[in-house]
Each structure stands twice: as C-alpha cells, then as structure tokens.
Amino acid sequence: MTVPLPVDELAVLRVRRSAKWRTYPPDVLPLTIAEMDFALAEPITEVLREAVSRSDTGYAMPAPELGEAVAMFAQARWGWPVEPDSVTGVTDVSTGCVQLLRACCRPGEAVVISPPVYPPFFDWAAEAGARLIEAPLRQDGSGIWRLDLDALRDAFGARPAAYILCSPHNPVGRVHDRDELEVVAQLAHEYGVRVISDEIHAPLVLEGAAFTPFLTVPGAADIAVSLTSASKAWNLAGLKCAAIVTGSPAMRAFAGQLPPDGRWRIGHFGVLAMAGRAAGHARDTPPPARQPDRRADTGYPLAAAAGHLPCLARLPAHRTRRAAVREVPQPRPGRAGTGTPLRPTR
C-alpha cells in the first residue's frame, strides 16, 4: 500500500546534507534522528531568505526578539502568559539542560530521570558530573505509560538536586495529565528538588490532547524552569537556538547563573527563525490556538512508516505526534546488510 505524504521524494530528501541523511548508508531509512521531512514553514523561509540576501549572518542578538517570540507563541498556543524578559536564550535544549544541571548540582549530587526516556538525558547528567537516580515510567492497566509518582517520591526522598521532566515524554509519546504534573510539583516542593522541564515536543500534541506547560501548575514556577525550542516541530535543530523560561524571581536567579558567554553561542538564524515562527503563528492561527499546526506535522511520516514497514512496530503514541518506533527482530535478508545498529540517536 502506498501512503502519499506531502514531502519530497526520498531521492530528493537524500540530497540534504544534515546528519539524518549522512549518518547511515543509502540502504538505511534514517528514522532514528528526529529531523523533519516536510519543507520549512513559509514564515521561517521568508525570514531566513531575507537575512541571507542582506548578508545578515553575524552573531545572534537574542534580546528582545527571542523573549517576545517565545511569549507570543506560548500565549497563542497554550494560553500560557510568559514575561519576555523571563526568557534566557541558550544554544539548544541539550546545552541548556547541562548548564542548568551544572548550576544546581554539586559534584556527586544526584539527578532523577524517568526511563525509558530520550537517551541523552543519561549523558547530560554525566556531563554535569551528577549521579543518576532512575524513577522509571510505569504502564497502567490500559498499557498507557505514566509517570510513576510513587517511584518519584522514593527517588526524591534521596534528596537529589534536580529532576529532568520530559513533557511530553519522548519516547512513549505521553502528554502528562495536569493532575500528574501537580503531584510532581508538590513532591518537588516537599523534597526541595529543582525541576527542569524539557518541553521541546510540546507543539506536537495530537488533536484532543492538552499539553500543560509545567510552569502553569500551582507552585511549579517557584521550583522549575522550562526548556523550549522550535527545533523539533519546525526542523530548526541546525540553527541552534532554544530558550529557558522562568516564572519566579528564584528561578530567574537560577537561570542567571548560566555562563554569560553562552549568549554568544546562540545561532543568529535560530533567533530569527523563532521570531518568524511566532509571527507566522500569530498571523495564521486565531488565539486561543490549541489546534496542531499542520506545518509542523513531523510525526506523521514516522507513524505512517511504522504502520507500513514490516520491520517496524508502532508503540501506542499517547497524544503526541512523536510516535515511538521500535525495531522488530526480522529474519536477515539474504543480501549483505549494512550492519549499522539502529538505535535512537537524536
């Protein structure tokens, strides 16, 4: 069966020079690196084309555009009021998270994560010199992966410095319920744990699901920061721009501990593209906008592939477009394979 997708032919996609298309040999369909196959959204193309035409290719100037762009998008998409000057630019979500961990963990202190989770979470903690404590997700009676709040309480009881919340959760595709997040905030208060909420996949929820920005949960703004970026949903990973959002003086001071030179490591095109995204969103989508943005429908090709390729099985994606795909053992075909291990990379 053929599934028509509004994307370029594979042969055209393969001409791209990004990591997704050059990491594996040509007989591998590179599903493990989360880059989008759709064309860039027009408002972003416009802003980038214009910058290149004027040789406007220098260092980024994140203030005030980045804060204003994040605030405009957060309000329009989730009704989440963000103060533009509570936004700190960082190179990407990974760098932002490592720097936040460095700022809050003394050597040997622990960081909690909830596996199965985006594999670099393990590496980020190690990079920051932190020990890991795992509070794994659990599957409920309907097979839905959820935060295990009892396991989190136990983990927080060991007095870790921080918890990296993945919201929505990659790889199980879970959009956590508001009441679950409320318990996370209560536990974090009770045990004095900082929460770093990685919300990079928030724009990709399915219709009918409601993403809850963690900072909108009662009490969360006092103990948590949110990490956000357009890099996944709008395919901007190479432009290097993400944002830390805070909602209280204490957390603003926490984000203020990041190395000042970081400001020079943000991609100029990333800032411009974030502003282009916000402007395009405001123009095309009447607030309050909970509708998914069709231009950002990144999970669809992956989900479609999972349904139609015999070597892949689709795990139930609970409300995000980031469908999780696992490899199903297949009898090896009688031709020479590449031998490249297919493991999640990015």
Ligand X SMILES: Cc1ncc(COP(=O)(O)O)c(C=O)c1O
Minimum Å distance from CB 95 to ligand X? 7
- By C-beta, is 189 or 346 nearer to ligand X? 346
How many helices (H) and strands (E) the chain has is answered by 11, 11
Binding of residue 166 to ligand X (CB under 6 A): yes
State in angstroms the smallest separation of the CB of 96 from ligand X: 8
CB atoms within 10 A of CB 36: 23
Binding of residue 200 to ligand X (CB under 6 A): yes
Q: How far apart are CA 25 and CA 40, in angstroms?
A: 25
CB of 170 to ligand X, least distance (A): 4
Of 11, 89, 22, give the one whose Cα is nearest residue 346: 22
Range in contact with ligand X (rule: CB under 6 A) among 68-76, 224-232, 299-307, 334-342: 224-232
DSSP state of 148: -
Instruction: Determine if 193 is a binding residue for ligand X (CB under 6 A).
Output: no
Q: Does 265 bind ligand X (CB under 6 A)?
A: no
Cα dihedral 80/86/90/95 (nearest 10): -80
Say how far apart CA 88 and CA 118 lie, in whole Å.
Answer: 23
- State which residue, 191 or 229, has the beta carbon closest to ligand X: 229
Q: Which stretch binds ligand X (CB under 6 A): 8-16, 149-157, 227-235, 248-256?
A: 227-235
Q: Does 34 bind ligand X (CB under 6 A)?
A: yes
Question: Of all helices (H) and strands (E), which one includes residue 66?
Answer: helix 65-78
The piece of 55-63, 136-144, 181-189, 228-236 that touches ligand X (CB under 6 A) is 228-236
Using CB under 6 A as the binding rule, whether residue 197 contacts ligand X is answered as: no
End-to-end CA distance of the chain: 29
Q: Which residue has the tokens 């204490």?
A: 250
Is position 37 an interface residue for ligand X (rule: CB under 6 A)? no
* Window of 23-31, 40-48, 79-87, 231-239 that interacts with ligand X by CB under 6 A: 231-239
Q: What's the closest the beta carbon of residue 191 comes to ligand X, in angstroms?
A: 24
Least Cβ distance, residue 315 to ligand X (angstroms): 15
**Looking at beta carbons only, is 86 or 228 nearer to ligand X?**
228
Contact (CB, 8 A) for 314 and 302:
no
- By beta-carbon proximity to ligand X, the closer residue of 152 and 227 is 227
Number of residues that bind ligand X (CB under 6 A): 15
In sequence order, the β-bridge partners of residue 134 are: 113
Return the residue matching tokens 């990333």: 270
Q: Which C-beta is closer to ligand X: that of 78 or that of 234?
A: 234
Q: Considering the rule CB under 6 A, would residue 242 count as an interface residue with ligand X?
A: yes
Contact 205, 320 (CB under 8 A): yes
What is the closest distance, in whole angstroms, from the C-beta atom of residue 324 to ligand X in the complex?
A: 11
* Cβ at position 334, least distance to ligand X in Å: 35
**What part of residues 69-108 is at the interface with ligand X (CB under 6 A)?**
92-94
- Enter the tokens of residue 148: 């295990």
**Rounded distance between C-alpha atoms, residue 167 and residue 198, angstroms:** 6
The least distance separating ligand X from the CB of residue 79, rounded to whole angstroms, comes to: 23
Closest separation in Å from C-beta 113 to ligand X? 11
108-127 footprint of ligand X as x/- string (CB under 6 A): ----------x---------
d(Cα 243, Cα 245) in Å, to the nearest integer?
Answer: 6
Token digits for 275? 């502003």
The residue written with tokens 């291990």 in the block is 341
Helix axes 65-78, 268-284, angle to 10 degrees: 30
Work out whether strand 224-228 and strand 110-113 pair parallel, antiparallel, or are unpaired.
Answer: unpaired
Residues engaged in binding ligand X (CB under 6 A): 34, 92-94, 118, 166, 170, 198, 200, 229, 231-232, 237, 242, 346
